[in-house]
Amino acid sequence: DRVATVLKGTWYFGYGDRFDEAALQALETGSFYTEPPNVAHFAMTKEEVIIQIVGTGPSSTTYVDPANDPGRR
């Protein structure tokens, strides 16, 4: 698992393999959430946001749709 803490701003986060703005939960400064391994999730910001993500490795990111991977552009 990875654990993320919102240090500044509001982070909008949801679980699923397709972005769904209606499913986003607003996480304000001081909030935290977990990213279980192999569970698809998505996020959005509307302002400057700082998050801290910690976990025990190894860790990686796999995009459900490889076309969304910024490293492939």
> Where do the H-state alpha helices sit in the chain?
none
pTM of this structure: 0.83
Q: What does the pLDDT look like over 31-50, one tens digit per residue?
A: 999 988 889 999 999 999 99
How far apart (Å, rounded) are the C-alpha atoms in residues 40 and 61? 10
In this prediction, residues 13-17 reach a mean pLDDT of 94
In this prediction, residues 6-31 reach a mean pLDDT of 96
**Alpha-carbon 1 to chain mean position:** 12
